[in-house]
């Protein structure tokens, strides 16, 4: 099996990847980690000396904006890592699994289940690779420091993960964030932080031919929005019914069900976000948690839809200010959505923002920075 770096270089030579300094640095770091892990396997030089509990090599935390190649590098790393005790899993799915394991552990033993769960996870795993580390709820935030201390320090599992954010910005502004700070300290102590935060968004290049605003309603609009989701997430369209969902913590004990949630991309219906009674804080929570929102079923509105139009305006403001990429299916173009009714004149500002959000300049911006700085 060829090494991580050799495979990466062949992809560049074949023209499948462009030369990218940040990606090459990340590939070289992953290649070095691969060699460390392979030297410790049973029969390897260090493995013969230390046995199963050899000190785990220092892991890697890759972060950067959408489309920077994090998932691609993770795929190469896992595919070319020639040890059996490896596992790759989406972070959201892993935390759901941990939650289930902890419930079962509590039923059999009233004590603290975290050490038991960590031991179970590590039984057949020396390298645990996560895609898309993101923390959206207080339950996960509260246990992550203890869980990952048990995994990395006590069970000697090497962690490799990707994220759209640097460690210091994980669970930013989250409820009871003080409970989460020890996890950030653990990550910075135990993992090498490898940024891929350059300006090139390779995934967006793969969206060529797909408009972000798809109207009017119909099979063509639905197909384009659906294709955008699968291209942005690298998820197999043949397995569409198994796309994970999520529960977004809105604070105050409230949660928002996200029907499709994967790799920083969320799918919502207009009815769910704008027909229900929601405020600006809810929309800001969405904008902070997702770099891309796919909103389906935006109708034309009139005086009888005044409340929905106001909520839609607040939603677009939040997405725009956090530079969230927006893909939609709608009944009409932005300028025809709300032409009469209270606030229809003010709605023109929303139309202007919607038009700007379709531009190549806006789509190239990084997530989470005030859009008012776009003209700086």
Tokens of 353: 């923002």
242 and 172 within one domain: no
What CA–CA distance (Å, rounded) separates 305 from 294? 21
Q: What is the DSSP string of 87-147?
A: EEEEHHHHHHHHHHHHHHHHHH-SS--HHHHHHHHHTT-SEEEEE-----SHHHHHHHHHH
* 188 and 41 belong to one structural domain: yes
Residues 362 and 274 occupy one common structural domain: yes
- List the CATH number of the domain containing 18: 3.40.50.300
Token pair recorded at residue 304? 């009888």
Q: Please state whether beta strands 127-131 and 86-90 pair in parallel, antiparallel, or not at all (unpaired).
A: parallel
Measured between alpha carbons, how far is 152 from 102 in angstroms, rounded to an integer?
A: 18
Which one, of 99, 159, 164, 178, lies nearest residue 134 by Cα?
Answer: 164
Number of domains in the chain: 2
Q: Are residues 187 and 213 in the same domain?
A: no
What confidence score (pLDDT) does residue 343 get? 82
Give residue 135's pLDDT. Answer: 85
201 within a domain of the structure (yes/no): no
- Which residues of the chain, if any, have pLDDT below 50? 43, 46-47, 50, 370-376
* Phi, psi dihedral angles at 23 (to 5 degrees): -65, -40
Contact 325, 65 (CB under 8 A): no
Assess whether 231 and 333 both reside in one domain.
Answer: yes
Q: Please, which residues bridge with residue 139 across strands?
A: none
Range of the domain at 170: 4-195
The span from the CA of 45 to the CA of 62, in Å, is 28
Q: What is the pLDDT of residue 53?
A: 55
**Residues 331 and 190 placed together within one structural domain of the fold:** no
Note the pTM of the prediction, 2 decimals.
0.60
Confidence at residue 1, expressed as pLDDT on a 0 to 100 scale: 57
**pLDDT at res. 78:** 94
Residue 265: closest CA among 300, 216, 226, 321: 226
Residues 129 and 181 in one domain: yes
Q: Quick one: angle between helices 114-122 and 91-108, nearest 10?
A: 120
Choose the final residue of a domain: 149, 167, 195.
195
């Amino acid at each position: 099996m060829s090494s991580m770096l050799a495979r990466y270089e062949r992809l560049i030579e074949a023209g499948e990847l462009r030369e990218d300094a940040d990606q090459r640095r990340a590939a070289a770091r992953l290649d070095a980690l691969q060699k460390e892990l392979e030297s410790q396997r049973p029969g390897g030089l260090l493995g013969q000396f230390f046995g199963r509990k050899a000190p785990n090599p220092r892991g890697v935390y890759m972060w950067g904006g959408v489309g920077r190649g994090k998932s691609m590098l993770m795929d190469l790393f896992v595919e070319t890592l020639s040890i059996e005790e490896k596992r790759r899993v989406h972070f959201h799915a892993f935390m759901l699994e941990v939650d289930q394991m902890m419930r079962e552990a509590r039923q059999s033993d009233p004590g603290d289940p975290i050490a038991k769960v960590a031991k179970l996870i590590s039984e057949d795993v020396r390298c645990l690779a996560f895609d898309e580390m993101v923390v959206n709820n207080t339950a996960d935030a509260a246990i992550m420091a203890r869980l990952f201390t048990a995994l990395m320090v006590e069970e000697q599992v090497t962690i490799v993960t990707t994220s759209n954010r640097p460690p210091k910005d994980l669970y930013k502004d989250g409820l009871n964030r003080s409970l989460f700070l020890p996890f950030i300290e653990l990550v910075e102590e135990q993992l090498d932080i490898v940024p891929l935060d350059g300006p090139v968004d390779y995934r967006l290049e793969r969206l060529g031919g797909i408009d972000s605003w798809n109207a009017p309603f119909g099979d063509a609009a639905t197909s384009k929005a659906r294709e955008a989701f699968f291209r942005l997430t690298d998820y197999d369209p043949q397995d569409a019914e198994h796309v994970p969902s999520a529960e977004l913590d809105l604070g105050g004990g409230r949660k928002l069900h996200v029907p499709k949630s994967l790799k920083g991309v969320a799918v919502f219906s207009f009815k769910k976000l704008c027909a229900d009674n929601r405020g600006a804080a809810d929309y800001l929570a969405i904008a902070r948690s997702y770099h891309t929102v796919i909103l389906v079923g935006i109708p034309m509105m009139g005086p009888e839809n005044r409340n929905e139009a106001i909520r839609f305006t607040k939603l677009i403001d939040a997405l725009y200010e956090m530079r969230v990429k927006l893909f939609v299916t709608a009944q009409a173009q932005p300028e025809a959505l709300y032409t009469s009714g209270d606030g229809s004149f003010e709605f023109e500002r929303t139309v202007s923002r919607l038009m700007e959000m379709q531009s190549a300049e806006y789509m190239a911006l990084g997530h989470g920075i005030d859009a008012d700085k776009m003209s700086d």
